[in-house]
């Protein structure tokens, strides 16, 4: 359609038209009411449409239809999806760490963020390397609240070996929280190796992998449920 004169631009959410721009008509811009769509008419034209007061109801499939003027009246349409994101107000938080550990102990920790929509993706790094879990990495999310927000939690349980500690006898644990390309926050902590490398026998006997590497009731806002494996009931 390059080089042809514009006849109209039409915008759709799903199958419903909500904005039309026809340069030869007066007024050239027309808005059609659709629930959840609030068009800023003064900031919408042949090149763009601007929405305000956007909430989760505005998410969905959108299409733009461009029609050329006579004689061809050629029509072209492109589609895309709009995602509406409500990000956490604060960075993620690592919980449950001690300041010092012995070799053979289990480091058990959780990382979580505030509820968001969609829930943040949480990734654990140990000394800069993503930890995929030779032993345990567990994920779950709480039930959506009235605003469709969920709180994600990742729990890790690691039996500490000499290889986990650097020359400074420290281990760094990092939690990265992301939502698409609009939210990218980190919490990073360090723990130290105790001066003695000797592990008492009772440590080896009692520090076995727990049934769950996190507190089952800590993040459930008073509701009890089964973790991990998905939804809190």
Residue 84, phi then psi, degrees to nearest 5? -105, 125
The verdict on 74 and 102 lying in the same domain is: no
The verdict on 97 and 12 lying in the same domain is: no
Per-residue confidence (pLDDT) for residue 206, from 0 to 100? 45
Per-residue confidence (pLDDT) for residue 45, from 0 to 100? 95
- Compute the chain's Rg from CA coordinates: 27
Task: Give the range of the structural domain holding residue 173, as residue numbers without chain letter.
Answer: 93-193
For residue 6, what are its two tokens?
A: 């514009």
- pLDDT (tens digit, 9 = 90+) per residue, 82-113? 999 999 999 999 999 999 999 999 999 999 99
In a domain, 218, yes or no: no
What is this structure's pTM? 0.70
Distance CA 204, CA 119 (A): 37
Q: How many CB atoms lie within 10 A of CB 88?
A: 21
The verdict on 33 and 75 lying in the same domain is: yes
Q: Which positions ≥6 away from 166 have C-beta within 8 Å?
A: 127
Per-residue confidence (pLDDT) for residue 73, from 0 to 100? 85
List the CATH number of the domain containing 97. Answer: 2.60.40.10
């Amino acid at each position: 359609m390059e080089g042809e004169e514009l006849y109209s631009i039409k915008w759709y959410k799903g199958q419903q038209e909500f904005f039309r721009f026809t340069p030869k008509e007066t007024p050239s811009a027309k808005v059609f009411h659709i629930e959840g769509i609030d068009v800023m008419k003064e900031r919408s034209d042949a090149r763009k449409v601007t929405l305000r007061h956007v909430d989760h109801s505005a998410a969905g499939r959108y299409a733009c239809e461009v029609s050329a003027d006579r004689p061809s009246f050629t029509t072209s349409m492109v589609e895309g999806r709009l995602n509406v994101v409500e990000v956490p107000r604060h960075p993620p938080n690592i919980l449950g760490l001690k300041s010092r550990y012995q070799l053979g102990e289990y480091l058990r920790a959780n990382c979580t963020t505030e509820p968001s929509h969609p829930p943040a993706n949480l990734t654990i790094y140990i000394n800069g390397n993503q930890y995929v879990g030779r032993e345990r990495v567990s994920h779950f999310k709480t039930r959506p609240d009235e605003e469709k927000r969920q709180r994600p939690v990742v729990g890790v349980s690691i039996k500490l070996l000499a290889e986990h500690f650097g020359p400074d006898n420290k281990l760094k644990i990092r939690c990265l929280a992301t939502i698409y390309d609009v939210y990218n926050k980190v919490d990073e902590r360090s723990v130290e190796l105790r001066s003695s490398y000797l592990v008492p026998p009772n440590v080896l006997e009692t520090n076995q992998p727990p049934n769950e590497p996190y507190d089952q009731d800590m993040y459930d806002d008073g509701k009890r449920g089964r973790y991990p494996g998905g939804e809190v009931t």
